[in-house]
Amino acid sequence: MTENPYLTELQTTAKHLTQRGKGILAADESTGTIGKRLAILSLENTPETRRALREMLVCAPGNDEAYSGMILFQETLYQTDSSGKPFVSILKEKNILPGIKVDTGLKPVPESPGETTTDGLEDLSNRCASYYAQGARFAKWRAALRIDVNRGLPSDSVVHENARELATYAATAQSEGLLPIVEPEILIDGTHGQEVSAAVAERVISAVYDALREQNVPVELTLLKPMMIMPGVSSEERKNVTPDIVAVETLRVMKKVVPEQVPGIMFLSGGMSEEEATKNLNALNILAEKEKAPWSLSFSFGRALQHSAMKIWNGDKNNLEEAMQMASEVARANGRAQLGKFEGKHPSSGSESLYEGFRGWRGGAPKAV
Ligand code: 13P
């Protein structure tokens, strides 16, 4: 095998993204997904509204204390702040690495109604090369797996197909100089308990590392982005789950299936409230230090870093300063949680659940069969 010409840069990127006390903001919502969140604020989903929202998140003073990277949607990678300065240049000055979502969304699996794989492998290598040229240094690909105990979901074939796609994407991204974040999200939707979540996560994440090995992807040049191990959102257990319970089970599963060579596990927030996501990450890091976990455990949250700030902003320039302050405070709370040092009152506006049914499924939840 010939050596990857980007090897040293990929190593530096991995180190940068997993530095202590920092994590990643996932601000890479597709136009459809962000449109649903803007609609809640009665805002129109236009390129300018999206640009203004992303300006609030990119330019928030002090966010660089907590962010090592920011994942952008393709449109944002080429946008500028209101004075015409490219977002990519602003991020570079803040020492926040720009990342890019490279998948193009979920697609249904005809043979297994209600399950999905992910689109975007076509032309991926050319797109990665263009994103690198524009300043991106890491990438994200999201697979979404759904638990339905009665139907035996996720099905083995869909687990394996998603794992194969994630590995093909990771190899392609690496060969174009982008450090791949490998995201097999197990959706929080469902009535299953935590034990089922753990068993499914073991199955899914093991399949991902098998596929990476089969495709000769060096895992030390990848990051994993999983959901924490929690009961389904509609289960009885959900009400009683505590950060310590989540931390114990999440760490147990990760230790079982994630190779030591992986530099970082950057969790998604998946519908947890802002406060819950921070507290769970904090508990995880306290436990990980005690148990000497081999990887950095951090955040790559979307909703749990944006919700309160977005509400304050509400599309109005006059609210920008206050919204930016909230965005940075929530970011810094998570930076402290990465160190296991978050305490006191959470800066967000409350413990409101950020659950969205079957996120990313076009047209809402899949029909039951
Ligand atoms: P949430 O943290 O809102 O789940 O989003 C993270 C993400 O990037 C999922 O792809």
For the chain, the structural domain boundaries read 6-339
Rounded to the nearest angstrom, the gap between the alpha carbon of residue 81 and the centroid of all alpha carbons in its chain is 24
Is 0.95 surpassed by the pTM of this model? yes
What DSSP string describes 126-150?
A: HHHHHHHHTT--EEEEEEEE--BGG
- CATH top-level class of 6-339: alpha beta
Catalytic one of 22, 225, 249, 276:
225
| Tokens, residue 62 | 């002090």
Nearest protein Cα to ligand 1, atom 8: 26
What's the DSSP call for residue 299? E
Nearest to 29 by CA among 366, 356, 333, 367: 356
Q: What is the pLDDT of residue 2?
A: 78
CA of 150 to the centre of ligand 1 (A): 26
| Tokens, residue 348 | 């967000």
CA distance 307 to 303: 6
Phi, psi of 77 (to 5 degrees): -60, -25
Pocket-testing residue among 101, 301, 330, 352, ligand 1, by greatest number of atoms within 8 A of Cβ: 301
Active site residue 225: yes
3-state secondary structure 84-98: CCEHHHHHHHCCCEE
With a 6 Å cutoff on the Cβ, whether 269 touches ligand 1 is yes
Q: What is the pLDDT of residue 364?
A: 57
Q: What is the pLDDT of residue 365?
A: 61
Active site residue 279: no
The minimum-distance atom of ligand 1 relative to the CA of 142 is: 10
Q: What is the pLDDT of residue 360?
A: 76
What is the helix, strand, coil percentage profile of the chain, to 5? 45, 15, 40
Angle, vertex CA 269, rays to CA 265 and CA 275, nearest 5:
115
CA distance 275 to 333: 9
Segments in the chain below pLDDT 50: 368-369
> How much is the CA Rg of the chain, to the nearest whole Å?
19
| Tokens, residue 172 | 């392609």
With a 6 Å cutoff on the Cβ, whether 26 touches ligand 1 is yes
The minimum-distance atom of ligand 1 relative to the CA of 183 is: 10
With a 6 Å cutoff on the Cβ, whether 142 touches ligand 1 is yes
For residues 339, 344, 345, 346, the Cα torsion angle rounded to the nearest 10 degrees is 0
